[in-house]
Structure 1
């Protein structure tokens, strides 16, 4: 018998919620019927967490459906776990308490993806996050999914380990441009090349998406330049505007302080003159009580709702590890320096950039020194701190200086997923 794979962890006890047991018991009954219709078995993790939620009366906000590993040799084939019964059960039981839906290690057919897209499009289901990891998505299925973004409440989209390539990326970006709620997009190991740079750059500039996770692709120098050039220019312009505003503000404060000083001196001279004329005003004020201002009772402060995402060229997190950003091929040295130059401008001028990952890219010592200089300029300009991860294949002192200026960035762990071996792209 092989070692059993660990599934996703069950959540800890959550606050009691009224009628959670009734609604979720109905979902479980419908789910079992839907599984029987297509000859599949219910997802073990989902059934376990549902049982716990019904007993303790809390809603399961995130559904994780993971395909089972193959049977051991000699064992009869078991019925598969499928995603369609979950989607159909949510719709038929009207379970409107699911916020996130994650599917791992499936081979999703186009009809299943279309069924999921229909669920996302329905306004009554407040799904804010979808995660389809290693689900063999093809470009036309990605296109159908992306068409649903316009009518959705999504804030996070994760399609890691689906090798739909540049064609799928173009279709996906078309849907992202019509959305005003998505803030995080993850496309790690999706067989993207430099051709995906321009569509990703348009999305970064004209949408609300501010977090891009693109590790394990082949964007190379040209793709990174196409994606980030306009963002870097906008960041530089924004920084210049901020500096000018601060200068004008300091000037106005200086003028205000000068006027206040003149006013105080004039007032003091007037008081001395009135005192010399007999002090009538002082007699009138003798014995008169100055009324005290009543303090207003402070009510309970209402919790401020988060502001809606802003459309514009703002990148907060940019992960480009293992993307072929190097100068190994003929004529690539110039491209490498141009690419690093754009990244350096982003580091120097972007007030919103907080995470940058360019690990596993052989950028070389000269490029690393340029990034170090950019970090020093960022510190001199009093810009917010930056978490950065770069390759260790550079000089030790340069690497140490970069680490000192930019705090270390921890890799985001994917639950229940092993790193897939990347297929080379010509």
Structure 2
């Protein structure tokens, strides 16, 4: 036993030493490639790597963002002497040097890669795609916030998503690539069996994106979709869940037929047992034997791969112009809300539905309420649902009672308009002003 322990300790020490050498090489290459590209290394990344070197741990998370800018004070008396006080050129932080360092080292422990507020061009996206395609990559999360992604670079990058079998979360918030970029992304994600969460908030998406995203919800493993702050409108929102609703209806019909067939099989089995002189019900020993057989069947399934099909748990459509403020507004919004209400009634997987900041009106608020009541009668689990407060106050209060509370994640404000709640007031924040709108 003592010899085994010594071997394990030596092995651990060897792995730690190998990891330290790898991180040192990564840091050296990052500095070298940054100098070649006239870039300044990210302070946060270098601090993280140096801390890991001291601890002996591997690099599993990376967060790249611009370094804090320093204010250069003018020299006293420079104007009197006649010297110019032009500020020195600002050296920016780029993404490509670090990705090149990852590729050169072939770092295989990285699980989360995040970039915030750094412009990513075509070459950056190609390099990141090459890293994602590596066979040794175990990347699980890719988050690119406000990176000014354009349609073509996004298309080249997303072509690698289907290759990485470990990738589960893709977050592209605040990249205004619009309808063209979204359609190209959907083409690349068709048939994906790995990604379970897709976030495209504030990406300037319109109604045309509803149908292709809706196909992803029923044909891939996608279970959570976040589309806050776009322009889907009633038409886009309806197209998003149309196919999902059809699949949920089929799933429930198939489930009822299966239950009916099981009941008939049990009745036939009981009659046959009576004819054979056995008790109609199974004995405790027989029940245990059947349970063991069922457990053995479950072990054959692939637990590491998420299921594909209508297993959507979270749909977020906060502030998406799903309202009656358009031509034939009431008929259009009623059609969309009826579809969401039906989904609330029959979907067993749905956990969260965010329709806040969409002026659906009093009648449609009542439709949502009736759907929640129907769900309660079926004794289905509660779902977390948000709707606009601009409906009948009693209907709104009843919706809150019948739904679970949703913990809304804090997001960066919208570039032009940002809704925030502080000290009991709702504010509308723009780039220059802050106006008090209403008391809560």
Task: Report the alpha carbon displacement of residue 178 of structure 1 after superposing the two structures with TM.
Answer: 4.0
Task: Report the alpha carbon displacement of residue 150 of structure 1 after superposing the two structures with TM.
Answer: 2.7
Counterpart position of 2:252: 239
In 2, distance between residues paired with 1:307 and 1:349? 28
In 2, distance between residues paired with 1:418 and 1:93? 37
Counterpart position of 1:119: 131
1:381 aligns to 2:394 (yes or no): no
In 2, distance between residues paired with 1:342 and 1:379? 18
Deviations 1:157-192 (A, max 9, x none): 111001111011000000110422111111000000
In 1, distance between residues paired with 2:23 and 2:303? 29
Counterpart position of 1:278: none
In 1, distance between residues paired with 2:327 and 2:210? 21
In 2, distance between residues paired with 1:151 and 1:266? 55
Counterpart position of 2:312: 315
In 2, distance between residues paired with 1:60 and 1:419? 32
In 1, distance between residues paired with 2:302 and 2:217? 25
Counterpart position of 1:152: 164
Task: Report the alpha carbon displacement of residue 244 of structure 1 after superposing the two structures with TM.
Answer: 3.0
Contact in 2 for aligned 1:20/1:53 (Cα 8 Å): no
Matches within 5 A, 1:19-168: 19-72=18-71, 74=73, 76-153=88-165, 154-168=167-181
1:421 aligns to 2:416 (yes or no): yes
Deviations 1:54-81 (A, max 9, x none): 1111122111001235553656444211
Aligned-pair Cα RMSD in Å: 2.7
Task: Report the alpha carbon displacement of residue 139 of structure 1 after superposing the two structures with TM.
Answer: 0.9
In 1, distance between residues paired with 2:385 and 2:303? 27
In 2, distance between residues paired with 1:266 and 1:127? 56
1:218 aligns to 2:231 (yes or no): yes
Counterpart position of 2:408: 411
1:157 is paired with a residue of what secondary structure? Answer: strand
Question: TM-score, normalized by length of structure 2?
Answer: 0.79
The 1:29–1:379 alpha-carbon spacing in structure 2 relative to 1, beyond 3 Å, is same
Point out which structure has higher relative CO (alpha carbons under 8 A, 6+ apart). 1
Task: Report the alpha carbon displacement of residue 263 of structure 1 after superposing the two structures with TM.
Answer: 6.5
In 1, distance between residues paired with 2:256 and 2:102? 52
Question: TM-score, normalized by length of structure 1?
Answer: 0.81
Task: Report the alpha carbon displacement of residue 313 of structure 1 after superposing the two structures with TM.
Answer: 3.0
Task: Report the alpha carbon displacement of residue 85 of structure 1 after superposing the two structures with TM.
Answer: 0.9
2:115 is paired with a residue of what secondary structure? Answer: strand
In 1, distance between residues paired with 2:259 and 2:398? 30
In 1, distance between residues paired with 2:304 and 2:400? 33
Name the larger-Rg structure. 1
The 1:250–1:186 alpha-carbon spacing in structure 2 relative to 1, beyond 3 Å, is same
In 2, distance between residues paired with 1:189 and 1:263? 68
How many pairs does the alignment contain?
375
In 2, distance between residues paired with 1:213 and 1:83? 25
Deviations 1:322-343 (A, max 9, x none): 0000001121211100000111
1:400 aligns to 2:401 (yes or no): no
Deviations 1:107-153 (A, max 9, x none): 21211111111211222222222111100111111111122223223
Structure 1 counterpart of 2:350, from 328, 348, 353: 353
Counterpart position of 2:184: 171
In 2, distance between residues paired with 1:418 and 1:73? 29
Task: Report the alpha carbon displacement of residue 305 of structure 1 after superposing the two structures with TM.
Answer: 6.9
2:243 is paired with a residue of what secondary structure? Answer: helix
Counterpart position of 1:10: none
In 2, distance between residues paired with 1:169 and 1:337? 26
In 2, distance between residues paired with 1:381 and 1:163? 42
Structure 2 counterpart of 1:363, from 356, 360, 365: 360
Contact in 1 for aligned 2:43/2:67 (Cα 8 Å): no
The 1:31–1:97 alpha-carbon spacing in structure 2 relative to 1, beyond 3 Å, is same
Contact in 2 for aligned 1:71/1:78 (Cα 8 Å): no
Contact in 1 for aligned 2:60/2:110 (Cα 8 Å): yes
The 1:266–1:235 alpha-carbon spacing in structure 2 relative to 1, beyond 3 Å, is closer
